[in-house]
Chains A and B, each alone.
Chain A
Amino acid sequence: MTDIVPPIARFREVLSKDLRRRYFATYTDTAVTLAFAALVLWVLWGLLDWAIADAVFSADGREACFQTEGACWSVVTNRWRIILFGLYPFEEQWRSAIACITMVIVIALSCLPWFWNARRLPLLWISGFASFYILMRGGLFGLTPISEREWGGLALTVFIFAAVSLIGMPLAIVFALLRRSSLPWISRIMALVIDTIRSLPLLTIMFTFALVLPFVLPGWAIGDTLYRVIIGYALFFACYQAEIIRGGMQALPAGQEEAAKALGLGYWHRVGHIILPQAFRNALPPTINQFVITFKETSLVTIIGFFDVMASGRAASGTAEWSFAVIEVYVFLALIFFTFTFSLSRYGAHLERRLSVGRR
């Protein structure tokens, strides 16, 4: 008995000292802790009540929804196909699902350092994107062709995000290199272009590419509205990412490029082996942040009229029978976005911690 008590008492003492310091250090602290704790509990209670306790989950619980004050998740269980796949033909929706999962795998694999290589990463993305496109579009391997007009929901959102990243990243590298060129005309014009595009709202750029560009483009260059908007968004992405890469390059000591020059390495060798690899390492956390923001902002295409996951969500609750449950649909959409962006930004924070440990 006597040798069990001391460790327990010590444990309790240590625990309470930590607790005291963090939560109850002074009278103000105690008051703040209690006030916030009360706030959190109140909000949590109300939320759980609404979302779970009083909620209706079953797919044909529409009648039951009117009896309760809780959430009507039936709109989700009933209409989830529309939300996730839009107007994609019912029998082929499995293709849409697999395509989305493929892209998620590509993104997850991109986070592994093994892939951070000028050869492997582009290969991963190009093959992943190609698989996505073939699955959705069909026409090959016995899959029925389905044009982009019928793509919708989450699959369209993922498609836009992947296409923008795939086009935007190489473009960003080109912009960054042009921006830091020692040739005055090139660097100044690039600076003007980048600053101008960064000053404009993304919505404006999407709108311009969707509606205005057909006016000024020769016939062969007009293409489909979806692809024009993707290119516009990619341009916007490239300008922001170019500045991030440039920041990474500026953090490099000038001696790195000098040593490379002194060794007799030419421009492309210098840029490809010495400057860009180090610049990207420096710029990794802001780059991940940029990807997170890009995914969130794809939701803007709904305003232009595309049937992305936001539009499909509103369509799901847009019918007369479900129009009262629009908030539940919004919460569901929020959860989809939250899952993706939260994981990616957590990963970014973890990466930042790991990279700063490595520095002296």
Chain B
Amino acid sequence: MTDLLKNRRLRDNVLQLVFVGGIALMLATFAVTGKTNLDAQGLTSGFGFLEKTTGWRIGFSLIEYDTSSPYWLAIVVGLLNSLLLGAICLPMATLIGVTVGVMRTSGNGMAELVGTLYVEAFRNVPLILQLLFWYALLLSLPNPRDAEPILGGIVMSGRGFYFPALNVLGSSVVVSLFVVLGGASLALWLQAVRWRDADPASARRERRVLGGLMVALVVLAMWLGRLPETGLVSLPELRGLNYQGGVRVAPELMACIIAISVYGASYIAEIMRAGFNAIPKGQGEAGHALGLTRWQILSRIRLPLAIRIVMPTMINQYVWLFKATTIGIAIGFADFFMVISTSIVQSGQTLELIGILMAGFLIINYSLAWVLNRVNDAIRLRGSQLRI
């Protein structure tokens, strides 16, 4: 008997069995308890509630939505809002972050100082605090009657920012967004699969065709979504107490954009700085020896190398930054999380909605990571004989 106990193979199998069994037991307990509680409260389980009307408003929506819309539409609105926030904040954070990162490694003392001040100021304060701060700041802007338009059409007021806008339906904008994203993804995939090893002239031709197709589709979407009897662009005009026309970006959305972009940028700047520092000095020296200017060395040698070095870390950072968009609930921005939590409060279908919430985030994060990993593969340095 003791011999059996000492057998390593047997031990390994028993351990695995116990582990898997323990987890299964835990999940089974959850399922049984959950079912009992649901029955006791007389709630029906299942996803039928998604067809029911919500009866409540959503502050910001890209597509048509009102109080008589079903739950599933509300969830879609929340999802689109989260995606919108992500689509705006991630590129902005990258832009600001890369700039600050370049500043911090530029060699110019003043630029480095400003970069350091930026990073330390925004990295050491919690995101939610920054969000509340920006929101309070935006709300304290003068109200529309007293606000002066700047740059010939942009108004910053306590009720929101007004921008000149194209007179098209929201759904056209969404479609265009999808076209751009889809086109970009397609381009990246083709780059890795076809264009890298293909003849440059034909690759360039195919690139032009894809670009033209994307532009055509966007223009078509805009044309079809044109609002009747209006010009192409509408400018915000003061009528009475408020501005009419143009597009109004609510303070909630604006605060979220500013806070998440600025916070994310401070982390990206640090990552970029690490990337720049990881580039051997010999690269810059070779550039100088060849007679390149500092800007050329930066833009054509150091920056591309730094991006390739930090890509895996950046992927984690982007996934994390997208998750940070849930913070919108603190100031009432109707992102995915807030819509789900309101639905839970209103409909009581807690378990199903939590399941939808988790599934949603898992799908989005895995997709994001997958796309970025394709990008990483496409731009990765090739070969194993590298000596840099």
Contact = CB atoms under 8 A, between A and B. Distances in A.
A207 B327 CA distance: 12
21 contacts: A33-B110, A33-B111, A36-B113, A183-B12, A185-B20, A186-B15, A189-B20, A201-B326, A202-B323, A203-B337, A204-B326, A215-B38, A216-B33, A217-B33, A299-B129, A300-B327, A302-B330, A303-B128, A310-B128, A327-B133, A345-B123
B24 to A, nearest CB: 10
Interface of B: 12, 15-16, 19-20, 23, 29-31, 33-34, 37-38, 107-111, 113-114, 117, 120, 123-129, 132-133, 136-137, 140, 294, 319, 323-324, 326-327, 329-330, 337, 341, 344, 350-351, 354, 357-358, 361-362, 365-366
A337 B120 CA distance: 12
Given A185-B16, A207-B341, 11 more contacts: A199-B323, A200-B361, A216-B34, A216-B351, A217-B30, A296-B127, A310-B126, A327-B137, A330-B133, A334-B125, A334-B129
Contacts of B362: 196, 199-200
A212 B351 contact: yes
A200 B125 contact: no
Nearest to A44: B117
List the 5 closest A-B pairs by CB distance, nearest first: A201-B323, A22-B109, A216-B30, A299-B126, A341-B124
Contacts of B354: 208, 212
B19 A186 contact: yes
A338 B124 CA distance: 5
A206 B350 CA distance: 14
Contact of B110 (A36, A211, A303): A36
B136 A330 contact: yes
Contact of B29 (A40, A218, A300): A218
A342 B129 contact: no
A25 B111 CA distance: 13
Contacts of B127: 296
Contact of B125 (A25, A207, A338): A338
B270 to A, nearest CB: 10
Contacts of A178: 19
Nearest to B30: A216
Contact of A39 (B29, B114, B361): B114
A345 B125 CA distance: 12
B366 A189 contact: no
A297 interface: yes
A33 B108 contact: yes
A293 to B, nearest CB: 9
A162 interface: no
A327 B139 CA distance: 11
Contact of B114 (A40, A196, A200): A40
B29 to A, nearest CB: 7
B133 A342 contact: no
A296 B127 CA distance: 8
Contacts of A342: 120, 124
A265 interface: no
Contacts of A183: 12, 15-16
A328 B15 CA distance: 57
A125 to B, nearest CB: 23
Q: Which of B29, B33, B125 has the most CB of A within 10 A?
A: B125
Given A40-B113, A341-B124, A204 B108 contact: no
Interface string A20-40: 001101100100110011011
Given A23-B108, A183-B12, A333-B129, A327 B33 contact: no
B319 to A, nearest CB: 7
B111 A36 contact: yes
A211 B353 CA distance: 12
A184 B337 CA distance: 35
Contacts of B136: 326-327, 330
Contacts of B133: 327, 330-331, 334
Nearest to A202: B323
A23 B109 contact: yes
A342 B109 CA distance: 22
A189 B19 contact: yes
